[in-house]
Structure 1
């Protein structure tokens, strides 16, 4: 009977350790599957000229080009001060990107690129409410700037999330890859529990 008790304690400790390992593997800055914007962050906000299909498409093209470039600038940075100084020093490059896209798309719109405290509207992303207020950001205004806006977080890099819609951007492939893995993990967990039940049933019968 003493041997059976020791086996029981050993298995319980193994289960506790396994569960602890699952929670320890959650990415930093993630809570309940949602990514949180840290207090110190630099954002990107783009105001389209209007809500016409053409102007909104133009906004998305500029979004992709600017985000792709800035992501390479900040990917190795760990300090918001360094990110701030780097972005300030390279605003002219962002202006060039915007100008090149407008020329390529044959759109003679005016544009403006600023960096500083920018007004943001209230947005709900998942379970998190991001209140309206002024946040440090790059603001790109296209034409009259009367169209729907788009925004994301440049530093730390969270621009794969579209906080303007509360939806994930370009994560469909990632979700397809992760879903089978989650289902497989659940299946394995069920099999382990079933094995333990069978083991103790035979042990104490």
Structure 2
């Protein structure tokens, strides 16, 4: 009986230590996110529902909007220019998304805004961004109650297939110049500690679909 009790106490202590360690790591990630967030703009698309049709529609609207934004802004737009573009073209982009959805047989409204949103730790190409609050271009399709999709709009890291994507050198250079050197190094996917925390965070926080573009 005593051996079972001791074993139980040992396991309990290990679990508590693990939970404490995970909490400390998450706090460290959120602190890092707070430091780098002012230099980053995310892109967040919320599907109408979790139905297969609505999830597929979400991806089509995502691709159409990203192509439009990048084509109209050009490759050298700054962070502030990107935000200004979204604010000034918000209504037109919403209408374009709604018209596009109607051609596909859906009569959903689209709402776009700049908002601060909490994101879990996520991989983009060969870089990992920590969990925390980031400003994002938020696109709500219909009820916006389905699984969502996100990427980094600035610097440009929105890949069609992030499983095989590599962050462009131009985007890396923007990050290198705007972030503290130690924070920039921590974004590297090869950093083992960050990579382990990514997997833990995905298990605890990730509510996206398991197979799709930025989902890994």
2:112, 2:138 within 8 Å by CA — same for their partners in 1? yes
CA distance in 2, matches of 1:95, 1:45: 14
CA distance in 1, matches of 2:122, 2:65: 22
1:160, 1:168 within 8 Å by CA — same for their partners in 2? no
Does residue 99 of structure 1 match 2:122?
A: no
Q: Structure 2: give runs of 5+ residues left out of the alignment.
A: 1-35, 166-216
Does residue 60 of structure 1 match 2:59?
A: yes
Does residue 138 of structure 1 match 2:134?
A: no
1:49, 1:142 within 8 Å by CA — same for their partners in 2? yes
Match of 2:45 in 1: 46
1:61, 1:101 within 8 Å by CA — same for their partners in 2? no
Deviation at residue 124 of structure 1 after TM alignment = 4.2
CA distance in 2, matches of 1:60, 1:126: 18
Q: Which aligned runs of 4 or more in structure 1 are off by greater than 3 angstroms? A: 124-129
CA distance in 2, matches of 1:168, 1:97: 30
Q: How many residue pairs were aligned?
A: 132
Does residue 167 of structure 1 match 2:163?
A: yes
CA distance in 2, matches of 1:125, 1:76: 18
CA distance in 1, matches of 2:139, 2:163: 21
TM-score of the superposition, structure 2-length normalised?
0.52
Q: Structure 1: give runs of 5+ residues left out of the alignment.
A: 1-36, 170-205
CA distance in 2, matches of 1:64, 1:126: 17
CA distance in 2, matches of 1:41, 1:75: 17
1:110, 1:143 within 8 Å by CA — same for their partners in 2? yes
Deviation at residue 129 of structure 1 after TM alignment = 4.1
CA RMSD of aligned residues (A): 2.9
Bigger radius of gyration among the two? 1
1:45, 1:138 within 8 Å by CA — same for their partners in 2? yes
CA distance in 2, matches of 1:146, 1:109: 13
Deviation at residue 88 of structure 1 after TM alignment = 1.1
TM-score of the superposition, structure 1-length normalised?
0.55
2:113, 2:139 within 8 Å by CA — same for their partners in 1? yes
Note closer, same or farther for the CA distance 1:156–1:130 as it changes in structure 2 (3 Å cut): closer
